[in-house]
């Protein structure tokens, strides 16, 4: 078995990329078990070393341990999001407690910690460089934060809590995926009156893929969002809205209500065991924001700045709805997208379907890749010899401006069964330097864009183009990584800094000079007209304040769950509605619940960190304002952004990196200006 398991041999592939074509489900478990065994051996070698602890024989050796385990869990974890199946879900349930226990065995190993502590206490006399200092700090602090200083009794409690939390987050994620994919709304052609043909064709394709006749709407974004925007029958919009917003609240085997309570309480117990009053205090100690007071200050500052404008936006939409439906009409959440779209069409003569023909996916890809080429001089070439995990996926060799190999980039664009909703960037291999070898990263961007149809290529909305730019920004952070240690490489930075490179790229979506490089009508080849670009720019801030309050609502909800000092035993839905009530501008709907499907803060990495999107938005607006001063394609400014932000990873405190690039600390002024608030 071992000889046949691709994880046990050097990969015979371009750049030693993952041999997806050889990996079978039965390979994961034995590779994980062997990976844990090997890392245990490596840890034993460190703690049994008769030589006194040094940075090299303890900190660096620990950093390099677990290569096999890291490789197999990286592939498995990424595919659990991008291309999972029932067999993989069963493997995850079996292996998660074992992997958690393995991690606990390392971080709670007192002999190992004493060696780390010994090195840490000598740090001022070791003459380490900045990156070595950061690795030492991160390693020592990581052990403290994972319970190294606890009593043996408390260590035992922490082990149980960590295992419980890992299983709860897995269950939460699996329930949400299954709830999303089990739902389908059959619909007639007549009920789709007024819906663009392109969207109708996608519903027909859904039915075909489900082995049925007619039209089917699902809860995946490319299906749900156009339905809410274009379907004129209010009862149908309400039906789909309720289906979407009550996912994981039903007694159908996918209910997450009690799991939310358990996750929140489990995290609180862990934080308090480690000496923090709340889980937010625990998390924010290692963030740019530093503490919950600073987070609330940002959220409240933005709420105060944007709420008046958001209320006016709602008044305008309500006015249009009443003019259409009658004076006693009450605007409900399932009406928002529909009437917003009507007003946008009326005021700007602009909608997604007008723009979609100019955003054919292969052209958008050329545009996004071309933007990176123009800013940084890098180039992309598809490499069909690199194995991929699904036929939808493409792999590219990425070359630096001097022609040298920089990275591998995988792209995965369309929804399918077994793929989670949303969009994300991840790595299959981090970048690191060992002696004279700079081992380059393998990066992936995964999205759920509108699919091609029988007679049409994939035509994106402007929002999908923006999402592409966002995830591609993350990928540049990964691809430009140039650090010694993998754990400090690329996107391994504070959570409230990680969104800067991604959100920075979104600024280009309304720039004429960028759009003119790729936006061509997929049938006629006509370049997107100037007046259409002007309308895009004019409409860029349409309902921007409402969108801000929506993001703030998620931030307040996140903080409400994780600034608790006592366990939660109450009503999840009621607690949620109280947590974000100041941000809500439309009537609350009984029975709906966000928390039970809020993967970011329950099963993802954003617990007590969702504010990061707004935090980074302040940074990205401020950073882009420098490009606006020097030229949005200015290669010198771009080189500085690459050198000071994108290549440095987590090797220095992020505010230091930012100030080095920008020359000053950020303020919210640029964001307020960009959004037309001032």
- Known catalytic residue: 513? no
Of 471, 506, 511, 617, the active-site residue reads 471
Q: Residue 127: left if φ>0, alpha if ψ -120 to 50, beta else—which one? A: left
Residue 1's pLDDT is 43
Question: CB-side exposure of 45: number of CA atoms within 13 Å?
Answer: 14
Per the CB < 8 A criterion, the answer to whether 483 and 648 are in contact is yes
Residue range 12-38: mean pLDDT, rounded: 98
CATH 1.10.1370.40 for the 2-149 domain, yes or no: yes
- pLDDT tops 90 at residue 453: no
Q: Look up residue 27 and give its two tokens.
A: 């390979």
Q: How is the chain split into domains, by residue range?
A: 2-149, 183-245, 357-540
pLDDT tens-digit series, residues 135-178: 999 999 999 999 999 999 999 999 999 999 999 999 999 999 99
Give the list of residues 6+ apart from residue 484 with CB closer than 8 angstroms, or none: 131, 132, 432, 433
Residue 3's pLDDT is 59
- pLDDT tops 70 at residue 118: yes
Report helix angle 86-107 to 152-182, nearest 10.
Answer: 160
Across the strands, what pairs with 527?
A: 520
Residue range 15-29: mean pLDDT, rounded: 98
Give the list of residues 6+ apart from residue 336 with CB closer than 8 angstroms, or none: 317, 586
Separation between Cα atoms, residue 132 and residue 560, nearest integer Å:
37
Residue 455's pLDDT is 83
- pLDDT tops 60 at residue 480: yes
pLDDT tens-digit series, residues 396-430: 999 999 999 999 999 999 999 899 989 999 999 99
Residue range 515-526: mean pLDDT, rounded: 97
Fold of 357-540: 1.10.1370
Separation between Cα atoms, residue 615 and residue 602, nearest integer Å:
20
- pLDDT tops 80 at residue 632: yes
pLDDT tens-digit series, residues 534-574: 999 999 999 999 999 999 999 999 999 999 999 999 999 99
Residue range 104-113: mean pLDDT, rounded: 97
Q: Do domains 2-149 and 357-540 have the same CATH topology?
A: yes
pLDDT tens-digit series, residues 366-389: 999 999 999 999 999 999 999 999
pTM assigned to the model: 0.93
pLDDT tens-digit series, residues 647-672: 999 999 999 999 999 999 998 899 99
Unique residue bearing structure tokens 């990928």: 475
Separation between Cα atoms, residue 476 and residue 488, nearest integer Å:
15
Residue range 278-297: mean pLDDT, rounded: 96
Q: For the chain, what is the mean pLDDT?
A: 96
260 versus 351: which is more confidently predicted? 260
Per the CB < 8 A criterion, the answer to whether 359 and 465 are in contact is yes
Alpha-carbon separation of residue 305 from 79, 201, 479, 585, 673 (angstroms) = 41, 42, 36, 15, 11
- pLDDT tops 60 at residue 2: no
Helix (H, G, I), strand (E, B) or coil at 263: helix
């Amino acid at each position: 078995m071992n000889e046949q398991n691709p994880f046990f041999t050097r990969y015979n592939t371009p750049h030693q990329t993952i041999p997806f074509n050889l990996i079978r489900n039965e390979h994961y478990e034995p590779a994980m078990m062997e990976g844990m065994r090997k890392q245990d051996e490596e840890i034993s070698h460190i703690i049994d070393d008769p030589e006194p602890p040094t940075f090299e024989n303890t900190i660096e050796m620990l950093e390099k341990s677990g290569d096999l385990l890291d490789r197999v869990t990286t592939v498995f974890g990424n595919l659990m999001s991008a291309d999972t199946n029932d067999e993989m879900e069963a493997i995850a349930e079996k292996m998660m407690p074992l992997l958690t226990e393995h991690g606990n065995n390392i971080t709670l190993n007192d002999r190992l910690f004493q060696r780390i502590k010994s090195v840490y206490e000598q740090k001022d006399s070791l003459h380490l460089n900045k990156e070595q200092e950061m690795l030492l700090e991160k390693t020592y602090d990581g052990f403290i934060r994972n319970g190294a200083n606890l009593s043996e009794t408390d260590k035992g409690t922490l082990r149980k809590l960590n295992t419980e939390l890992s299983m709860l987050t897995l269950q939460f994620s699996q329930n949400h995926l299954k709830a999303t994919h089990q739902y389908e709304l059959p619909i007639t052609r007549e009920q789709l009156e007024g819906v663009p043909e392109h969207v109708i064709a996608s519903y027909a394709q859904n039915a075909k893929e489900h082995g049925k006749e007619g039209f089917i709407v699902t809860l995946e974004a490319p299906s749900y969002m156009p339905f809410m925007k274009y379907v004129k029958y209010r009862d149908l919009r309400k039906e789909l809205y309720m289906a979407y917003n009550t996912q994981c609240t039903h007694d159908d085997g996918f209910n997450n209500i009690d799991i939310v309570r358990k996750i929140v309480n489990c995290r609180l117990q862990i934080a308090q065991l480690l000496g923090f009053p709340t889980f937010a205090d625990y998390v924010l100690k290692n963030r740019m924001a530093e503490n919950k007071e600073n987070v609330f200050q940002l959220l409240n500052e933005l709420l105060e700045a944007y709420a008046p404008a958001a209320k006016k936006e709602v008044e305008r939409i309500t006015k249009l709805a009443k003019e259409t439906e009658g004076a006693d009409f009450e605007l409900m959440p399932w009406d928002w997208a529909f009437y917003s779209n009507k007003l946008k069409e009326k005021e700007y003569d602009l909608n997604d379907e007008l723009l979609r023909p100019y955003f054919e996916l292969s052209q958008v890809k050329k545009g996004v890749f071309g933007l990176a080429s123009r800013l940084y001089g890098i180039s992309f070439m598809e490499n069909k010899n690199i194995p991929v995990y699904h036929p939808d996926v493409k792999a590219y060799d990425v070359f630096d401006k001097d022609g040298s190999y920089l990275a591998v980039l995988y792209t995965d664009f369309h929804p399918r069964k077994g793929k989670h909703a949303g969009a994300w960037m991840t790595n299959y291999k981090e970048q690191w330097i060992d002696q004279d070898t700079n081992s380059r990263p393998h990066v992936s961007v995964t999205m759920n864009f509108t699919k091609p149809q029988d007679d049409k290529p994939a035509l994106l909305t402007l929002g999908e183009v923006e999402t592409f730019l966002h995830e591609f920004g993350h990928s540049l952070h990964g691809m430009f990584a140039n650090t010694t240690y993998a754990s400090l490489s690329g996107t391994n930075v504070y959570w409230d800094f990680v969104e800067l490179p991604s959100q920075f790229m979104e600024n280009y979506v309304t720039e004429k000079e960028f759009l003119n490089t790729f936006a061509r009508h997929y049938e006629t080849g006509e370049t997107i007209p100037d007046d259409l670009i002007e309308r895009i720019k004019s409409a860029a801030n349409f309902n921007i304040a409402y969108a801000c309050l929506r993001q703030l609502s998620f931030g307040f909800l996140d903080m409400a769950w994780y600034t608790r000092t006592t366990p939660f035993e109450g009503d999840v839905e009621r607690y949620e509605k109280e947590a974000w009530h100041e941000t809500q501008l439309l009537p609350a709907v009984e029975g709906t619940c966000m928390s039970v499907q809020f993967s970011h803060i329950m099963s993802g990495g954003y617990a007590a960190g969702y504010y990061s999107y707004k935090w980074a938005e302040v940074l990205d607006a401020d950073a882009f304002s420098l490009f606006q001063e020097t030229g949005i394609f200015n290669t010198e400014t771009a080189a500085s952004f690459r050198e000071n932000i994108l290549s440095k990873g987590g090797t220095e405190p992020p505010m230091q990196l930012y100030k080095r690039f920008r020359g000053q600390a950020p303020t919210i002024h640029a964001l307020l200006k960009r959004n037309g608030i001032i």
